[in-house]
Structure 1
Amino acid sequence: MHMQDRKISTGVVPYRRNSLKIAALIWFCLSGIPAFAQTLTVVRPSRHAQSHRLSDIRGGTPAVNGPTEIKLFRANRLKGTESGSGGGTLPDPTIQTSFGPLINATPGISFDGTDVFHAGYIPSDSNIAVGPNHIVETVNAAYTVYSKTGALLFGPNSIRSLWTGLGGACSASDGGDPIVQYDRAADRWMITQLGSLSNPYSECIAISTSPDPMGSYFLYSYDFGLYLNDYPKFGIWPTATNSAYLASYSLFLLASLSAGSEICAYDRAAMLAGQPDAMGLCYSGVIADVLLPSDTDGSTPPLDGTPGYFLNLYSYSSLALFKMTPNFAAATATLTQDSIGIASFSEAPPAPQPGTTTTLDSLGDRLMNRLAFRVFPDHESMVVNHSVAVGSRSGVRWYELRGPVSAGAGFSPYQQGTY
């Protein structure tokens, strides 16, 4: 196993990341400015290793017991005058008023995934990735591999068992917020989780060494120091040069005080090669709300030089689109921002539960994973959705943003609706 101290620099003078963020946070609180000064940081893994094949990992079966409810960390509410209570105070001009034509759909395979007792936490944060021959599922405390016919091939195993050879928090804790991705362009798999729910905080990233999700993985841990890197989301960005694994985090100082968001571009080529010092280029203080990274669908990659996109539900009538262009050879990046107007909406109300007055958070203040990006012959498209209020009920607002096929041209709403 290769281990090294965390390296942090701006590309000019090294500095301490925690000190800078705390100073920026104090400035933010005193000034009342709605966003931090955006700071570029170069990060290196604090730990690196290569795992055994999954079939050789022992003792990784998660405990079978009742799941534990986990705290929801929330940053600032949306900008604007809407109360955010789901009262439906803003008119929605995009509500669907008629049904589309009926279509015949052929049922596919249906099978049970990981059960609630292995999930570890409520909510389970379940998600899957589908490759040519396998399906990989992650929940908050376990991961499982299936065949495309639904046959159980591996697991459910505790997620921390994947990082056994790495040591540190990644191998000691099922930190939660897992993400699994299939990197179609490289025919590889990515599995991530939080390193710990207590200080010091970190993000654990595993990249398969081959197309076989049952094989071994390159293991990485990236430190966040005093800041809980909550709600991590990842996107595959396979440009010809400076290809990246895009990531976004909501930062909370000591898991308490919101410190804005951080967006990162990790050196995809270096991680696919298992290089121990795979670089991350990260902007902190971007915006005090959740962002989603663009995630490539289809067989056509983004044009070389296309920036990685990060989209935010900024207000009750606008989206904020950030464009990050990494340069790993020079250890630097650029970041620009566009505002995209959308039809007005109100946040979805909390969801009632039978037998109790306790409601469930609708998460109507943020876009839902994923921000799916696809290149078509004559345009580029991104689609995404979030929960909204439809009178006293909840609905789904969806958007298709389009732009020309180019390296970083602007996007605008092509269509949107509330279902």
Structure 2
Amino acid sequence: MKKILFLLILIFGFHSIFLGQDRETAGPVYIDSAKAVTSSAMSKRKLIPPAKEFKIYNPRNRGINKIVPGKGLPKTRDEALQQKMGEIPVKAPNFTFEAASTQATPTDPTGAAGPNHYVNGWNSAFSIFDKSGNRIMEPASLASIGGEFTNETLGDPIILYDEFADRFIISQFSDTPESFLIAVSQGPDPMNDGWYTYRFTTNGVLPDYPKISVWGDGYYITTNKNTRTAATSQVVYALERDQMLAGETAQIMSFPLPGIRTNGFYSPAGFSGIGNEIPPRGNSPIVFLQDDSWAGVNEDHLKLWLINVDWNNPLASTISESQELGAAEGVSPFIATFDGGSFSNLSQPGEDTPEMDVLQATMMYMTTYRRFQNYNAVVMNFVVDVDPSAAEHAGIRWYELRQQTDGGPWSVYQEGTYAPDNSDRFSGSIGLDAEGNIALGYTVLNDNPQNPVFPSLRYTGRYLNDEPGIMTIEEQNIIEGESPNPNSRYGDYAHLSVDAADGLTFWHNGEYFVGQERKNHVGVFKIAPDFDNDLGVVSLVSPQDASLGTNEEITVKIRNYGRNGHANFDVSYSINGGPEVTETFEESLAATSSAEFTFSETADLSEVGETYDFLFSTNLEGDENIENDTLIASVRHLPPNDVGVTSIDAPQTGESLGNSEEITVSIENFGGEPQEDIPVFYQVGNNTPVREVFNGTLEVGGLEVYTFNQTADISPSGSYRITAGTRLENDFDASNDTSVRSVANLDCIPEGSDCSFGDGISFFELEDVLNERIPCGNGYADFIGLSATLDRSQGEFTVSVQSLFGDLTDANAEQFSLWIDFNDDAVFGDEERLITSEVIPTSGEWHSYNFSISEDAPLGQHLLRIRAGDVDFDGDLNNPCEVMAYGTTHDYSVNITDSALDIEDFILNEAELVVVSEENKQFRVIMETDYEETLRITVHNILGQKMLENQVENNGTGYVYELDMSYAARGVYLVRMGTREVGKVKRFIVE
């Protein structure tokens, strides 16, 4: 093989392209060729099982992006941000299936659908499925392909389907020597047609992060390579496609990206053609984002280059700067850098879980190009921080560029940043179907402990005629993750491809986690219409929840889901099952488009607090899909005054909590008017409440965080029940006023055990508490807010657990112990250990253990601690404070009751009635007991006249009644609490 190595880049001068600016042109840096090595069809005897052990793939070229601190726009929220979820309903995926289960890190999921097969790949293996998601070839090492792939498993695979040639393409890189390995199927059947395999050397440099694309005159591969000299060294490679399809000797040439700005890791992309019409030869585009937070970049923009290869005279081949699409061309400012360029960015649920790589500075694979009748289009995406002035929040910036004539300039047809809620969205892959509809697959992540989302796969999309810049389709789920990523590395990419058979069906392949296993999952879905005639109501536009009146206009959004346009059809609504109002939509509604319609007949929605249930429908004669004809929507007439504490944010369970702990809460306005000067309170156990005033303004629907001025003393060891709430005058709904949280001041918290291999407890069940898919974290987790009720009269109880530690063939490897803190000193003594070193014999299966509590066990709430770990390593499992080398420690609560006790004995012998005097003739009546039935409270004056009778419920630690005697005369009163037959009486004085 003859190699031509250019030590100097051929500069052909500067010339003007499209924008009237000087653009730099360069020639190829390196030219070589490779012969085809033929490989036979797949067969069972040929398949090599993939590696199963944990392995990190290609860690060497993941450099850190360096930015200029403080440089770059926007400084606040992304101008292109879509903050609301799309509302057009579509069917859930046609089907989904598991594509791979491995410990390869990362998995690099990839795959493509041909006429009859879906070929799936990952680091560094592949498998083949039929078009129904049934596996027809078991997972096999990429080395199984044979030919040049023999003994090659370095990774970074890409699989695509060249539908212009009816061939599958499989690529990976190699370091023996540094090269691309390319397999081209000899026909559309990857099982039986055999392969042409090639080894294209890359001049001694490993071609990191390669992404392959299809163009009319070649296969093009972009890489993360020669980071500091990308403008002059080889970055993009062109392969001689025509020769490769024929199994002949094929050439390779490499090009720099003149004028590029990079800072460490980067990934440009080539436009990859799909559809019925192959891209024209020549002017093959390469695109990369340029972030103005990087040195040398003055404006956020998309930068394009054009490659023109001459396979007959390679020296005449060129790459030229073509366009920079910035603000004037419709590119809004973006921040595409996270954590100063670090590759640990996004927090996961659970404590001390590793932060995940957001895959920044990357044009995510693939960049799909399709030719339409009047234009050419390409779609692309990359991750951005949607608001750099706040905590990092990942969203997906996506584009559709259009070209009016072959070889003409590209323009921004639409852009958007998809981040419709507070979850992170990243690792996107975008596609364009034959009708111009766009689909976007991605990963969702949220570390909010109130609503955690482990890495999960979802998708959205939009129709050709929808409002530009908006993903209008309601987000759909492919697979929900069950566990956090045990490593910061993720992806390094996902792969959404369009089915070559119909040009309409999307196949999205991405990564999620179950325990320690990395899994790839494929979702198969379609956006294009299934019917010619199909109308429906999408949403209620107005009114929304608010203070409403007697003549409210009703406006709905109507959607034409079908392929035919329609006009003069009926639309109806009814309220709370009442009479139907029917009117006519007289305008024309084009295919796959939406329009708003306002009924002329208004509605009376004036009753405060009332929820009005609407039933909307379209009535199109010959509608082929009645499932989407109707919409049920509710509107609530909000009361003007309704606020409450929705969460208690601090303190949290810990060691050595003090006598001045801050109490922090979140306050939300549920009502229809802004509120200010809101009375708030908190209470520790049954102590006297602390009352203060939130002096800020809380807008309608607003949420504010408030820290009380008066701190709390929770310095004694033990468990504390904290109640916090609002006391707004004329509050409409008292049920949403308060929140309750349990925290503990513990003797010890053994953080730091390693559970990354699945050691410890991942599933726990005791009586009415079931805790599943528990994240590893740092080896300790606080679940004391979960309380299991134990009736001591039963004597014996069963606890069930699961561990995910490997195949536990050693009977002494993983063991389990349990304590209950009966004396409530937050110390788990040996005498309180109820299960000692029980063996967990197998992983991933429930195992049950019995324990007993005595008939005189103290009633009430106590802490429960469980520990499990590998006792063959450092750390004493039965020392509740010692950090184990491998394992977990979790804390829960138990509430011990006794159904066998007689009610009279219970109240008379166990309970104590206390009356606490507060300011302004306010009293708190407290009976601390674990009896759970409703009691009655009465108040009499000294003459025996009944002043009050009411019911009292147990709040979890006893019965508390707020007694207002502000209108009572001075004197002595009697208060009684109990049942009608038995109770306690206490005398108190009103002064």
Q: 1:305 to 1:226 in 2, by over 3 A?
A: closer
Q: Secondary structure at the match of 1:335?
A: strand
Q: How does 1:3-152 map to 2 (within 5 A)?
A: 5=1, 7-9=2-4, 16=5, 38-41=26-29, 43-46=31-34, 48-55=36-43, 58-68=46-56, 70-71=58-59, 73-74=61-62, 77=65, 89=75, 91-117=77-103, 121-152=104-135
Any conservation in 2 of the 1:37–1:285 contact (CA below 8 Å)?
A: no
* Residue 250 of structure 1: aligned partner: 224
* Residue 397 of structure 1: aligned partner: 397
Q: 1:335 to 1:348 in 2, by over 3 A?
A: closer
What is the aligned counterpart of 2:204 among 207, 226, 229?
226
Q: Secondary structure at the match of 1:368?
A: coil
Q: How does 1:133-282 map to 2 (within 5 A)?
A: 133-162=116-145, 164-166=146-148, 170-196=149-175, 200-214=177-191, 215-237=193-215, 239=216, 243-252=217-226, 258-260=228-230, 262-276=235-249, 278-282=250-254
Q: Secondary structure at the match of 2:416?
A: strand
Q: 1:78 to 1:414 in 2, by over 3 A?
A: farther
Q: CA deviation at 1:414?
A: 1.0
Could you tell me how far apart the structure 1 residues matched to 2:255 and 2:57 are? 31
Any conservation in 1 of the 2:32–2:253 contact (CA below 8 Å)?
A: no
Could you tell me how far apart the structure 1 residues matched to 2:282 and 2:57 are? 40
1:307 aligns with 2:283: yes
1:384 aligns with 2:380: yes
1:343 aligns with 2:358: no
Larger RCO: Structure 1 or Structure 2 (Cα < 8 Å, ≥ 6 residues apart)?
A: 1
- Structure 1 unpaired stretches of 5+: 10-15, 25-35
Could you tell me how far apart the structure 2 residues matched to 1:73 and 1:90 are? 32
Q: 1:306 to 1:82 in 2, by over 3 A?
A: farther
What is the aligned counterpart of 1:366 among 356, 362, 373?
362
Q: CA deviation at 1:185?
A: 0.7
Q: CA deviation at 1:39?
A: 4.3
Q: CA deviation at 1:216?
A: 0.9
1:283 aligns with 2:255: yes
Any conservation in 1 of the 2:398–2:417 contact (CA below 8 Å)?
A: yes
Q: Deviations over 1:265-306 (max 9, x none)?
A: 211110000002x0123213543442101111221222x344
* Residue 27 of structure 1: aligned partner: none
Any conservation in 1 of the 2:167–2:186 contact (CA below 8 Å)?
A: yes
Q: 1:82 to 1:128 in 2, by over 3 A?
A: farther
Any conservation in 2 of the 1:91–1:344 contact (CA below 8 Å)?
A: no
- TM-score w.r.t. the length of structure 1 is 0.81
Q: CA deviation at 1:177?
A: 0.8
Q: Residue 382 of structure 1 aligns to which amino acid in structure 2? A: V
Q: 1:76 to 1:357 in 2, by over 3 A?
A: closer
Q: Secondary structure at the match of 1:225?
A: coil
Could you tell me how far apart the structure 1 residues matched to 2:268 and 2:386 are? 24
Could you tell me how far apart the structure 1 residues matched to 2:283 and 2:267 are? 19
Any conservation in 1 of the 2:236–2:255 contact (CA below 8 Å)?
A: yes
Q: CA deviation at 1:158?
A: 0.5
Could you tell me how far apart the structure 1 residues matched to 2:229 and 2:357 are? 21
Q: Secondary structure at the match of 1:414?
A: strand
What is the aligned counterpart of 1:352 among 340, 347, 353?
347
Q: CA deviation at 1:66?
A: 2.6
Q: Secondary structure at the match of 1:358?
A: coil
Any conservation in 1 of the 2:38–2:195 contact (CA below 8 Å)?
A: yes
Any conservation in 1 of the 2:376–2:406 contact (CA below 8 Å)?
A: no
Any conservation in 1 of the 2:398–2:416 contact (CA below 8 Å)?
A: yes
Any conservation in 2 of the 1:265–1:281 contact (CA below 8 Å)?
A: yes
Q: CA deviation at 1:155?
A: 2.8
Q: CA deviation at 1:102?
A: 2.4
Q: Deviations over 1:211-236 (max 9, x none)?
A: 11113110100112331110101111
Q: 1:232 to 1:69 in 2, by over 3 A?
A: closer
Q: Deviations over 1:12-57 (max 9, x none)?
A: xxxx35x559xx9xxxxxxxxxxx9944145334553001211266
Percent identity of paired positions between Structure 1 and Structure 2? 26
- Structure 2 unpaired stretches of 5+: 12-23, 293-299, 339-344, 419-991
Any conservation in 1 of the 2:3–2:33 contact (CA below 8 Å)?
A: no
Q: Secondary structure at the match of 1:352?
A: coil
Any conservation in 2 of the 1:82–1:90 contact (CA below 8 Å)?
A: no
Q: Deviations over 1:57-114 (max 9, x none)?
A: 6251112223436416246848877669xx9735411111434332231531221111
Any conservation in 2 of the 1:178–1:191 contact (CA below 8 Å)?
A: yes
Structure 1 residue runs of 4 or more that deviate by more than 6 Å after TM superposition: 78-81
Could you tell me how far apart the structure 2 residues matched to 1:82 and 1:158 are? 46
Could you tell me how far apart the structure 1 residues matched to 2:414 and 2:157 are? 31
Larger radius of gyration: 2
Q: Deviations over 1:187-213 (max 9, x none)?
A: 0010000112xx631110010111111
Could you tell me how far apart the structure 1 residues matched to 2:229 and 2:181 are? 21
* Residue 416 of structure 1: aligned partner: 415
Q: Secondary structure at the match of 1:93?
A: coil
Q: Secondary structure at the match of 1:269?
A: helix
In the alignment of these two chains, the number of paired residues is: 373
1:319 aligns with 2:305: no
Any conservation in 2 of the 1:160–1:171 contact (CA below 8 Å)?
A: yes
Q: Secondary structure at the match of 2:379?
A: strand
Could you tell me how far apart the structure 1 residues matched to 2:308 and 2:64 are? 26
Q: Secondary structure at the match of 2:46?
A: coil
Q: Deviations over 1:295-347 (max 9, x none)?
A: 11221222x34411111012241011011111212223222221111211113
